[in-house]
A = this chain, B = another copy of it.
Amino acid sequence: MITIKDIAKLAGVSPSTVSRVISNHPRISSETSLKVKKIMKEMNYHPNMMAKSLVSKTTQTLGIMLPRPAEELFQNYFFGELLRGIITHATRMNYELLLSTETSSSDELNAISRLVHGRRVDGILLLGSKREDPIISFLEAEKFPFVLIGRSETHPDAPMVDNNNVQTAFDATTHLIAQGHKRVGFVSGPPDLTLSHDRLLGYKNALEEAGLDANNDWIVEGEFLQESGFRSMSLFMSLPDRPTALVVIDDNVAFGVLRALAELGYNVPEDISVVSFNNIALSELASPPLSSIDIGTYQLGYTAVQVLLKILNGEHLPQNPVIIPHRLIVRDSSLFTLSGNA
């Protein structure tokens, strides 16, 4: 392994000088700088990041903490898109990314405390949060820099990048109501996620504002899996007063919903309209093409890295949370106006 000393010797200067050349120290003669840089290139020298980290107390690395049942996340296109946004900006800013996950629920702080106390990363990106999240408490107690992608109810001051998910669900529901629907159901996600909670609230708000009944039979909770949507339909459609429209928490879940409806012999959108969330690439190719709220997934990841780097630089955060705008993409699955309603 070739070190800073080797370069120094070859260039006829001291190791300190080489170090200064590497870090573009202002008070170094351009002559010396050029000479040293030439030799570094010739020798294909790269600084040892571990040594650098040890003295600088900085790692140029960001940690990504995946929530525990990563299985679910990984089955979701949404996650890939988020990761893509993260990687793009981190790479651009010369940061490395360390991927970590909770090892077991019995010891859920284990992974995070290894990262934090082992000084392996400069800051942490939290992908999603539970309604009560000990990881956030831990990071706040440690005063360790982090950004949450999502929203925390219990830690309102935590730096967050999120959509306005009450509003996303409000918009989706209102769109269906505007088509004349009076009985709108909601296929939700895991109840311990803030995301599910917020969207449920937005859904209820929209019904209330329209003076429509909320009916608990029209709300079902599940997971972010196609199977979840698939299974929920037999129950829904057998209700005496079944919904004529559905808001579905996630595109994948909506695929399961569409499949179940097809098997049960219902037509979308004529028999029942569907709007979901995330607008993954596949939504457009579903049968029928799926109306979906585009939440700017890539932008969420990208922005989260920007915010975290600001924190690391000690910059002031002009606003918190940072809200990524969403918009409803209307496709065939909700393009059906109920008769008798203008």
Q: Which residues of A does B touch, CB under 8 Å?
A: 1, 44-51, 53-54, 59, 61, 64, 66, 70-71, 73-77, 79-81, 83-84, 87, 91, 96-101, 103, 111, 113-114, 117-120, 225-227, 230, 252, 255-256, 259, 262, 281-282, 285, 287
The residue in chain B whose Cβ has the minimal distance to the Cβ of A84 is B74
A102, chain B: closest CB distance, angstroms: 9
B residues in contact with A70, CB < 8 Å:
84, 87
A322, chain B: closest CB distance, angstroms: 23
User: Which single member of B64, B113, B282 contacts A255 (CB below 8 Å)?
Assistant: B282
Kindly state the separation between the CA atoms of A118 and B230 in the bound complex, as whole angstroms. 49
The residue in chain B whose Cβ has the minimal distance to the Cβ of A281 is B75
Q: Is the CB of B262 within 8 A of A120?
A: no
Q: Is the CB of B76 within 8 A of A80?
A: yes
Q: Is the CB of A230 within 8 A of B91?
A: no
Kindly state the separation between the CA atoms of A70 and B256 in the bound complex, as whole angstroms. 27
A22, chain B: closest CB distance, angstroms: 12
- A44, A48, A64: which has the most chain B beta carbons within 10 Å? A48
Kindly state the separation between the CA atoms of A74 and B280 in the bound complex, as whole angstroms. 11
B residues in contact with A117, CB < 8 Å:
44-46
Q: A83-B74, A97-B99 are in contact. Are A255 and B285 (CB under 8 A)?
A: yes
User: Which single member of B54, B71, B91 contacts A50 (CB below 8 Å)?
Assistant: B54
Q: Is the CB of A285 within 8 A of B262?
A: no
Known A46-B118, A76-B80; further 10 A-B contacts with Cβ < 8 A: A46-B117, A49-B120, A74-B81, A87-B101, A91-B101, A96-B98, A96-B99, A97-B100, A226-B281, A259-B285
